[in-house]
Amino acid sequence: METWDAVRARRNVRTYRQDPIPEDALMRIAEAGWQSPSAKNRQPWDFVIVTDPEQLQELSTVWQGAGHIASAPAGIAIVAPEPPDERRRVVDQYDLGQATMAMAVTAADLGIGTAHSSVGDQDKARAILGVPDDHFVAYLLGVGYPADRPLKPINTPDRRPFDEVVHRGRW
């Protein structure tokens, strides 16, 4: 798939076929996160790939919007060190978002769906994943082949009108 097609095909997929995700595909998706840009090249991330169904079920309980993680054949936890101050927190969150999007677009390029989730219960998430106390689990990414329909470029996305979103020179 071309990059533009992968960007247009990416959508939140929350129901998955139970086909396992090939190891090389999981590594490619993780590598996309690893390759993503970060402020001052700090790379504030670690990625924990989870394929154990019981562990995925447990992870689905760390946030009210994480239910799809339980049915995914794989999940990726995006982990970062606790920031020293609010400025670093803001910068790191942006970098973690870029890594998450890079993984989602790469997955779409492979025909694999994703959907992200926040994490509310940090203590529980850290315990499930063995994450040290000086780190936090920023996001979870469900990973799997879509159960409903394959990924393909979306020609009429459910988005605000482009002309209302894009401004030139001034608001």
Question: Mean pLDDT, to the nearest integer, of 147-156?
Answer: 95
When the pLDDT of each residue in the chain is averaged and rounded to a whole number, the result is: 97
Q: How much is the pLDDT for 96?
A: 98
pLDDT of 77 strictly over 90: yes
Residue 1 binned pLDDT confidence (cut-offs 50, 70, 90): low
The strand pairing partners of 76, in sequence order, are: 49, 141
Contact predicate 18/145, CB 8 Å: no
Average pLDDT for 62-76: 98
Q: What is the distance between the alpha carbons of residues 48 and 30, in angstroms, rounded to a whole number? A: 9
109: pLDDT strictly greater than 90? yes
* Average pLDDT of the segment spanning 144-163: 95
Residue 167 Ramachandran class (φ > 0 left, ψ -120 to 50 alpha, else beta): beta
Which residue shows structure tokens 């447990």?
A: 58
Domains of the chain: residue spans and CATH: 3-149 (3.40.109.10)
136-146 average pLDDT score = 98
What is the pLDDT confidence band of residue 48, given thresholds at 50, 70 and 90? very high
pTM for the complete prediction? 0.95
Q: What is the mean pLDDT of residues 123-149?
A: 98
Residue 22 φ then ψ, to 5°:
-55, 145
